[in-house]
């Protein structure tokens, strides 16, 4: 509620007073013209509540208050510190009413982080200009108040500069009515001429459950096609297929609290410290409390996570099934299996046994390129553990044999009875914030609402009856890779893409671009105008984004959280579910009845009803329960007093026999093995501080400081062999495309292996980026593409010209720089935090530079390019900008981790860099 502070006449013109507004100190200034301005009273540099005593005035055309302590100036309009762009103070809505000064308090809204599947709770604080700050929600069970670097910087990513604000048709602004009528007309026309399977919907694991539900019903219930798939196909579908084949349902059996009580944690194919930082911090805390807790990491790279392990198995990429089979061989041979559990709770071991008998550790050692002793040690640690928990992610999933990799790992749990008990179980770490919610509503080509399957006639009947339609289509839909291939062949003529950027994120991105060029009609519904996919849209629809939407998401541990709006969306942006409903009502008369929702809660309630009697039954859950009790794990059936922490505690599994199934997992090599022409293995993965195609994290200068530019990481051995040094440019080529990158030599890498971050696309580099290289081969069961294994070669790149620009970031400079990227052989665009946010652009070309592009850049940056390019110094600690060189110098002088934290402040804010600090301190 607004606070009446004092009569205006009580404040001297051009002076300030301090007041308490909803418990916060606010500095209120009256100007000559009797206007009033209110900002936070605390000077962020001295932390003293003094700004009400500062002098107000004009500084270079901006109305500011000067701090009486260190003399920094703060804009009264925006709160920005004039001398340091990284510092801001809150700005309050202040006005004069009936002679009194009235100030609106800041709003605090509890919601959920929009990045990874950990699903952390955040408390958003708003001010006059929108989101002002975020902090971890202590009441949220996923993070208990902690946030990683990305979460901590969420408030810095809400700048409207790159937002899509208005609908566009053929590149021109239009009204919502015009855009949706046009889209509905084109879809109707194509469906009438070619049938419903000539259209498709490609959606996202970052949509909320309510958005997802509406899109799925739109495709399967109204249009009559199963052509609805999602970018979750790129990250989680092998985990889903593995759970369903082995355990009978897509249901992670574990909870985060299992980390606290496990005595063995096996991490496979996940750099958890970077990709799921808050889960990793929980592992660190558990290890600190329980020194007997063993950590085993299976990863070709010696990542920060792997280096912290008691045992690291740096296997040859793609050979996980051979390793897991051999571990099971040792468990059986050494009598470490739980025969009682196997005999009474599982089936099909007899079909697996002949295969396992062949997978001796010696054979696996050859295939995996590992010492026999390490395989035996890992198996014995697993077999002897009282509670073994495995955590896994894209290293298993993004593979042409991803389903087998998941099943082979689950086989270990079934053989040892390590499931359904505290601290035990196979726990898939979800990549995206709501990949699981999407599966719950059936938002994929092979699924139906409430964990039902398209290929099950009974399930189709149930869903058709639930929706009140004649039938759900039986023809399987096209999954992500298949969908874009069908678009490329002209079979799918219209595609609706929502909340995802396939031009950057799909494998073989050049082919995806060609497919979208061929498509007859493309609708892109997105929050960001500069996402690469927007370039291919006939219709662009502006969507609301994080902190602007209401709904729910489900995280890795089956926990459903409320997502709440703290601010209004900018321009004419609308919630995703609302856009799909508005389209459905225009598409066909039946749409009016099927999509009569007015609120996301109504959508949630319908989804809830669809789960009755299913494994994920949430008929006892409501927005009201989530408001009252906070996040809840499914199932939560009617009458339940709470969600269920752990599944299968009774040893009964959702299979026809009630038993879990051993799966005979034959090892299959990667789809594209290296050869004489392309001799290196490319692995792709995540950086610590970036998210997916960087539409949001790429707006935040701080999030570039850890890894500022696209690099190919090679082993020290390969660099020496090819005479390459850090910073050298090379052309990285696969059979599908190429890109020029800088080299970084690292002892994290096995000889013959290379690593490139998945994030780099056409907005930060020249050309298509990382996915120019990747292979579109898919797993036959999960249809997930093998994004983590491709054969590549390095081609020499002799730069005839190199140059760099750096200047304060402005929208115009950013526009010119972005447009120039494709005109150079090598380009790297980034932001750097400092007194001002700097835009940095590094360029190189093999021939003469494009003069027109260079001239435009010189004009935009106000200077010619620097030709002696200064190397970036990456920061280990992004929050306090502490570089590796500074840390190494301190360690050389005897600093411990505690001393580093005390003297340099690194690792004392979000804590994401602590694993790296620990490694450097121990070096
Ligand atoms: Fe967000 Fe980081 Fe939590 Fe993931 S770990 S949900 S990115 S704060």
Encode 663-701 in three state secondary structure: CCCCCCCCCCCCCCCCCEEEEEECCCCCCCCCCCHHHCH
pLDDT exceeds 80 at position 873: no
CA of 146 to the centre of ligand 1 (A): 9
Q: Is 370 in the pocket of ligand 1 (CB under 6 A)?
A: no
Q: Is 442 in the pocket of ligand 1 (CB under 6 A)?
A: no
Residue nearest to atom 2 of ligand 1 (CA): 148
Above 90 in pLDDT, residue 879?
no
> Which is nearest to 765 in space by CA: 738, 790, 795?
738
Question: How far apart are alpha carbons 144 and 290 in whole angstroms?
Answer: 20
Sign of CA dihedral 805, 807, 809, 810: negative
Distance CA 710, CA 739 (A): 10
CA gap 563, 602 in Å, rounded: 15
**Look-up: residue for tokens 């025969």?**
339
Rounded CA gap, 212 and 226, in Å? Answer: 14
For residue 668, what are the CA distances in angstroms to 241, 264, 318, 375, 779?
17, 28, 9, 19, 11
CA separation for the pair 318, 395 (Å, rounded): 8
Q: Which atom of ligand 1 is nearest to the CA of 279?
A: 5
Mean pLDDT over residues 214-236, rounded?
97
- CB distance 281 to ligand 1 below 6 Å: no
Three-state SS at 853: helix
Ligand 1 binding pocket includes 713 (Cβ within 6 Å) = no
The answer on pLDDT for 870 being more than 60 is no
Cα(580)–Cα(204) distance, rounded to whole angstroms?
A: 14
The residue whose C-alpha atom lies closest to atom 8 belonging to ligand 1 is 151
Q: Which of 278, 393, 879 to mutate to test the pocket of ligand 1 (most atoms within 8 A of CB)?
A: 278
In sequence order, what are the residues at sequence separation of 6 or more whose Cβ sits closer than 8 angstroms to the Cβ of residue 135? 122, 123, 125, 145, 147
Closest CA to 428 of 243, 659, 232: 243
Exposed / middle / buried, residue 747 (Cβ in 10 Å: 0-12, 13-18, 19+): exposed
Helix (H) or strand (E) holding 711, with range, is strand 711-715
* Most ligand 1 atoms within 8 A of CB, residue of 154, 271, 277 to mutate: 277
Cα separation, 284 vs 169, in Å, equals 51
Q: 188 C-alpha to center of ligand 1: Å?
A: 41
Q: Could you tell me if the CB of 115 is within 6 A of ligand 1?
A: yes
Angle between helix 320-333 and helix 349-358 axes, rounded to 10 deg = 100
- Give the β-pairing of 91-92 and 36-40: antiparallel
**With a 6 A CB cut-off, is 431 part of the ligand 1 pocket?**
no
Closest residue by Cα to residue 715 from 683, 686, 759, 677 = 683
Per-residue pLDDT at 754 exceeds 60: yes
602's CB contacts (< 8 A; 6+ apart) are none
Centre of ligand 1 to C-alpha 898, Å, is 25
271 lines ligand 1 (CB under 6 A): no
874 pLDDT band, cuts 50/70/90, is: confident
Map tokens 């502490």 to a residue.
882
Q: Tokens 């980034």 belong to which residue?
A: 830
Residue 118 CA: which ligand 1 atom is closest? 6
> CA-CA distance, 672 to 554, in Å (whole number)?
35
119 lines ligand 1 (CB under 6 A): yes
Report yes or no: 912 and 904 within 8 Å, Cβ to Cβ.
no
Element (H, E) at 742: strand 738-746
With cut-offs at 50, 70 and 90, classify the pLDDT of residue 872.
low
Residue 84: per-residue pLDDT? 84
Residue 740 backbone class (left: φ over 0; alpha: ψ -120 to 50; beta: rest)? beta
Angle 70-75-81 from CA coordinates, rounded to 5°: 45
Say how many Å lie between the CA of residue 203 and the centre of ligand 1. Answer: 21
Ligand 1: atom nearest CA of 149 is 2
Cβ neighbours around 20 below 10 Å, total: 12
> What sign for the dihedral angle of Cα 325, 327, 328, 332?
positive
Q: How far is the CA of 119 from the centre of ligand 1 (A)?
A: 6
Ligand 1 atom at shortest distance from the alpha carbon of 115 = 7
Out of 110, 111, 112, 120, give the residue to mutate to test ligand 1, the one with the largest number of ligand atoms within 8 Å of its CB.
Answer: 120
Residue 296 or residue 894, greater confidence:
296
Testing ligand 1's pocket by substitution, the residue of 112, 134, 140, 151 carrying the most ligand atoms inside 8 A of its CB is 151
- Name the band, by pLDDT with cuts 50, 70 and 90, for residue 834: confident
- Residue 116: CB within 6 Å of ligand 1? yes
The Å distance, Cα 147 to ligand 1 centre, comes to 6
Cβ–ligand 1 contact at 277 (below 6 Å)? yes
Tokens, residue 889: 């110098």
C-alpha–C-alpha distance, residues 907 and 923, integer Å: 17
Residue 235 and residue 205 in contact, taking contact as beta carbons nearer than 8 Å: yes
Classify residue 479 by burial, with Cβ atoms within 10 Å: 0-12, 13-18, 19+: buried
Residue 18 pairs in a beta bridge with 27
Binned at pLDDT 50, 70 and 90, residue 256 comes out as: very high
Give the pLDDT of residue 14.
Answer: 92
Give the ligand 1 atom nearest the CA of 116: 4
Report CA(601)–ligand 1 centroid distance (Å): 25
- The whole-angstrom distance between residue 3's C-alpha and the CA centroid of its chain comes to 40
Mean pLDDT for the stretch of residues 619-636: 98
Rounded distance from Cα 433 to ligand 1 centre (Å)? 9
Percent of the chain clearing pLDDT 70 (strictly above):
99
C-alpha of residue 853 to centroid of ligand 1, in Å: 39
CB 227 within 8 A of CB 198: no
* Prediction pTM value: 0.94
* 410 close to 420: Cβ distance less than 8 angstroms: no
- What is the 278 CA–ligand 1 centroid distance (Å)? 7
CA dist., res. 394 & res. 402, Å (int): 9
Any ligand 1 atom below 6 A from CB of 148? yes
Residue 14 has, within 13 A of its CA and on its CB side, a CA count of 5
Angle at 96 between CA 95 and CA 101, to 5 degrees: 90
Give the ligand 1 atom nearest the CA of 277. 5
Query: Is residue 687 lining ligand 1, measured as CB closer than 6 Å?
Result: no
Residue 878: pLDDT band by 50, 70, 90 thresholds?
confident
Query: What per-residue confidence (pLDDT) applies to 833?
Result: 87
pLDDT > 80? residue 344: yes
pLDDT for 869 beyond 80: no
Distance, CA 137 to ligand 1 centroid (Å)?
12
Query: Is residue 147 lining ligand 1, measured as CB closer than 6 Å?
Result: yes
Residue-wise DSSP of 533-574:
GGGG-SEEEEB--TTS--EEEE-TTSEEEEE---SPPSTT-B
Average of per-residue pLDDT across 598-623: 98
Q: What share of the chain is helix, strand, coil (3-state, %, to 5)?
A: 35, 25, 45
Residue of 276, 429, 697 best suited for mutating to test ligand 1, as the one with most atoms within 8 Å of CB: 276
Closest ligand 1 atom to the C-alpha of 152?
8
Q: Which residue's CA is the closest to the ligand 1 atom numbered 3?
A: 120
Contact 466, 472 (CB under 8 A): no
Distance 634 CA to ligand 1 centre (A): 21
Whether ligand 1 lies within 6 angstroms of the CB of 545 is answered as no
Quote the percentage of the chain above a pLDDT of 90: 91
Q: How far apart are the CA of 741 and the centre of ligand 1, in A?
A: 28
Ligand 1 in reach of 151 Cβ (< 6 A) = yes
**pLDDT tens digits along 166-212:** 999 999 999 999 999 999 999 999 999 999 999 999 999 999 999 99
122 CA to centre of ligand 1 in angstroms: 9
**Residue 230 beta carbon below 6 angstroms from any ligand 1 atom:** no
H or E element, residue 239: helix 237-247
Q: For residue 46, give every residue at least 6 positions away whose Cβ sits within 8 Å of its Cβ, in sequence order, or none.
A: 67, 69, 70
- 207 is written with which tokens? 């949509």
Say whether pLDDT at 661 is over 90: yes
Residue 496, ligand 1, Cβ within 6 A: no
Reading phi first (left if > 0) and then psi (alpha if -120 to 50, else beta), residue 202 is in beta
What mean pLDDT is reported for the chain?
Answer: 96
Sign of CA dihedral 127, 130, 132, 135: positive
Q: For ligand 1, what atom is nearest to the CA of residue 278?
A: 5
Phi, psi of 764 (to 5 degrees): -125, -10
Please state the atom number of ligand 1 nearest to the C-alpha of residue 143.
3
Lowest mean pLDDT of 332-336, 378-382, 436-440, name the range.
436-440
Dihedral sign for Cα atoms in the order 679, 683, 688, 692: positive
Reduced to 3 states, what is the DSSP secondary structure of residue 674? coil
Q: What is the DSSP letter of 771?
A: G
The residue to mutate among 150, 391, 554, 759, having the most atoms of ligand 1 within 8 angstroms of its beta carbon, is 150
């Amino acid at each position: 509620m607004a606070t009446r502070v004092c009569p205006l006449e009580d404040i001297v013109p051009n002076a300030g007073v301090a007041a308490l507004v909803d418990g916060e100190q606010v500095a209120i200034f009256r100007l000559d013209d009797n206007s009033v301005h209110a900002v936070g009273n605390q000077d962020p540099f001295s932390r003293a509540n003094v700004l009400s005593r500062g002098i107000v005035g004009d500084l270079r055309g901006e109305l500011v208050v000067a701090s009486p302590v260190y003399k920094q100036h703060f804009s009264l309009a925006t709160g920005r510190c004039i001398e340091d762009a990284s510092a801001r103070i809150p700005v309050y809505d202040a006005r004069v009413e009936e002679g009194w000064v009235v100030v609106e308090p800041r709003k605090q809204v509890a919601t959920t982080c929009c990045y990874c599947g950990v699903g952390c709770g955040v408390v958003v604080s708003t001010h006059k200009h929108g989101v002002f700050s975020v902090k971890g929600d202590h009441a949220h069970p996923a993070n208990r108040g902690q946030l990683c670097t990305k979460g901590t910087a969420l408030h810095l990513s809400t700048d409207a500069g790159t937002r899509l604000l208005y609908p566009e048709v053929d590149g021109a602004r239009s009204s919502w009515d015009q855009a949706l009528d046009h889209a509905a007309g084109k879809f109707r026309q194509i469906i009438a001429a070619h049938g419903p399977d000539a259209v498709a919907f490609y959606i996202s694991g970052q949509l909320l459950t309510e958005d997802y539900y509406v899109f799925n019903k739109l495709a399967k219930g109204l249009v009559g096609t199963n052509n609805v798939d999602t970018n979750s196909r790129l990250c989680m579908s092998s985990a889903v297929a593995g759970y369903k084949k082995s355990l009978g349902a897509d249901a992670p059996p574990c909870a985060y609290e299992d980390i606290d009580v496990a005595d063995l944690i096996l991490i496979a194919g996940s750099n958890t410290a970077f990709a799921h930082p808050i889960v990793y911090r929980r592992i660190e805390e558990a290890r600190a409390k329980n020194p007997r807790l063993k950590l085993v990491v299976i990863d070709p790279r010696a990542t920060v996570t792997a280096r912290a392990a008691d045992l690291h198995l740096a296997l040859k990429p793609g050979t996980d099934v051979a390793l897991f089979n051999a571990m099971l061989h040792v468990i059986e041979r050494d009598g470490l299996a739980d025969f009682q559990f196997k005999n009474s709770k599982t089936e099909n071991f007899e079909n697996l046994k002949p295969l396992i008998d062949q997978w001796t550790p010696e054979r696996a050692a050859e295939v995996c390129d590992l010492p026999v002793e390490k395989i035996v040690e890992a198996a014995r640690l697993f077999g002897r553990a009282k509670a073994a928990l495995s955590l896994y992610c894209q290293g298993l999933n993004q593979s042409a044999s991803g389903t087998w990799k998941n099943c082979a790992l689950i086989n270990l749990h079934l053989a040892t009875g390590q499931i359904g008990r505290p601290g035990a179980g196979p726990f898939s770490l979800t990549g995206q914030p709501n990949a699981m919610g999407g599966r719950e509503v059936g938002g994929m080509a092979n699924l139906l609402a409430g964990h039902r399957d398209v290929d099950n006639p009974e399930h189709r009947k149930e869903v058709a009856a639930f929706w009140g339609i004649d039938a759900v289509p039986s023809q399987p839909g096209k999954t992500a890779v298949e969908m874009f291939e069908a678009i490329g062949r002209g079979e799918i003529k219209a595609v609706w893409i929502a909340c995802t950027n396939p031009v950057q994120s799909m494998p073989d991105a050049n082919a995806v671009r060609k497919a979208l060029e061929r498509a007859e009609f493309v609708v892109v519904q997105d929050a960001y105008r500069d996402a690469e996919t927007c370039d291919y849209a006939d219709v662009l629809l502006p969507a609301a984004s994080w902190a602007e939407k209401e709904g729910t998401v489900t995280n890795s541990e089956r926990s459903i959280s409320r997502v709440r709006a703290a601010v209004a969306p900018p321009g004419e942006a609308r919630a995703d579910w609302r856009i799909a409903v508005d389209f459905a009502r225009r598409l066909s008369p039946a749409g009016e009845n099927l999509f009569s929702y007015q609120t996301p809660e109504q959508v949630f309630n319908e989804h809830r009803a669809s789960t009755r009697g299913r494994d994920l039954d949430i008929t006892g859950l409501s927005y009201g329960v989530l408001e009252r009790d906070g996040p809840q794990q499914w199932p939560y059936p009617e009458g339940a007093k709470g969600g269920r922490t752990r599944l299968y505690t009774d040893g009964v599994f959702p299979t026809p026999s009630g038993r879990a199934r051993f799966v005979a997992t034959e090892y299959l090599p990667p789809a594209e093995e290296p050869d004489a022409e392309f001799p290196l293995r490319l692995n792709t993965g995540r950086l610590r501080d970036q998210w997916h195609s960087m539409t949001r994290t790429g707006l935040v200068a701080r999030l570039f400081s850890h890894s500022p530019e696209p690099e190919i990481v090679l082993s020290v051995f390969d660099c020496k062999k090819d005479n390459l040094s850090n910073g050298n440019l090379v052309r990285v080529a696969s059979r599908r495309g190429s890109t020029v990158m800088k080299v970084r030599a690292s002892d994290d890498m096995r000889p013959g292996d290379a690593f490139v971050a998945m994030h780099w696309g056409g907005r930060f580099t020249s050309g298509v980026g990382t996915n120019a290289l990747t292979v579109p081969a898919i797993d036959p069961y999960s249809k997930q593409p093998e994004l983590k294994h491709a054969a590549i070669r390095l081609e020499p790149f002799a730069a005839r010209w190199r140059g760099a620009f750096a200047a304060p970031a402005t929208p115009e400079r950013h526009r010119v720089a972005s447009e120039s990227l494709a005109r150079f052989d090598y380009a790297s665009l980034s932001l750097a935090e400092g007194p001002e946010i700097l835009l940095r652009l590094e360029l190189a070309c093999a021939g003469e530079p494009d003069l027109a592009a260079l001239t435009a850049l010189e004009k935009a940056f106000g200077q010619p390019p620097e030709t002696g390019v200064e190397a970036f110094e990456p920061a280990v600690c992004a929050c306090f900008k502490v570089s590796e060189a500074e840390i190494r110098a301190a360690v050389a002088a005897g600093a411990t981790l505690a001393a580093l934290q005390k003297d340099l402040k690194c690792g004392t804010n979000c804590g994401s860099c602590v694993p790296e600090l620990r490694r450097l301190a121990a070096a």
